[in-house]
Amino acid sequence: MKKNILIADDIHPIFIERAEALGYACDYQPSIKLAGAMEIIGNYAGLVIRSKFNVDRAVMDAAANLRFICRAGAGMDNIDEAYAAEKNIKLMNAAEGNMDAVGEHAVGMLLSLMNNFRNSDLEIRAGQWHREENRGYELKGKTVGIIGYGFMGSSFARKLSGFGVNVIAYDKYKTGFSDQYAREVSMEEIVKHSDVLSLHIPLTTETNGLVSDEYLFHFKKPIFFINTSRGKTAKVSAILNAIKQGKILGAGLDVLEVEKFPALAEQEWFEELKTSGKVLLTPHIAGWTFDSYRKISEVMAEKLALVSDW
């Protein structure tokens, strides 16, 4: 089997350098579209992809010689994992490469929301000096609830360790993960005790729409809400409703149910979202820093080195 890799997205050149040192030939085509990839994918043993297109059954059926897929990021929701397993295609992601970026971004969003950074800045620029209206909250003594305690959730917990907070975490897919940074709890305890709720979960059929009107109704205290995972895990309409009801004090959203324009502007909730002074938005960049750009490629290369020769 020829050891060649189609790189269909922009990645740091360190991956190519290290893959070639392992004996792979890299075909770097970051501008290629799905149609173009479909025409040639059958010639490659490996595929490197970020989020350009979904690697579904059609793509894998066209990739007769494909042995592995490297996802340059954490989430695998744009790859049909079950079908890849059927075809014995190995999947590798690089969550270790951007977990620090995500953890720091989540902390930054939380501090900004709790201290009204955005509103204060805009008001001062507009000639307004409102101290009382922008009085903030301290993190110390608060309970931070984390849903999902993998690379991203545990990174967020570590970043919080100097703030004097009580960190609790729920993960449906693992147990016995309590450590010095977070205590494992049930979902009921998350709902009962959290002052802050942060999502660090993959998008699956189970997590799709997890944060809904019904879910938020059960929280016992008003919360600050952070989502740096996947947009479809939280319904924007439910977040906006909870803000109006006082159940969410502020929401930091790096991800949305619908992303990119013009589709985003066409959503019925977008006007309310963009005018809310209690929402902080970033364009799905929590894990996308100058540092993680390189680290993601380094992690993929390290995992590639562990794969047996084809």
The catalytic residue positions are 230, 259, 284
3-state secondary structure at position 170: strand
Burial label for 96, CB within 10 Å (0-12, 13-18, 19+), is middle
CA 116 → CA 134, 191, 255, 284, distances in Å? Answer: 6, 24, 20, 21
Q: Name residue, tokens 């025409």.
A: 39
Name 31's Cβ contacts closer than 8 Å, sequence gap at least 6: none
Q: What is the C-alpha separation between 122 and 188, in angstroms, rounded?
A: 38
- Compute, in degrees rounded to 10, the torsion defined by CA atoms 294, 63, 53, 292: -10
Residue type, 1: M
Q: Which long-range contacts (CB under 8 A, 24 or more apart) does 43-46 make?
A: 43/2, 43/4, 43/6, 44/4, 44/5, 44/6, 45/1, 45/2, 45/3, 45/4, 45/5, 45/310, 46/3, 46/4, 46/5, 46/6, 46/70, 46/304
Q: How many CB atoms lie within 10 A of CB 207?
A: 20
Residues 151 and 94: beta-carbon distance below 8 Å: no
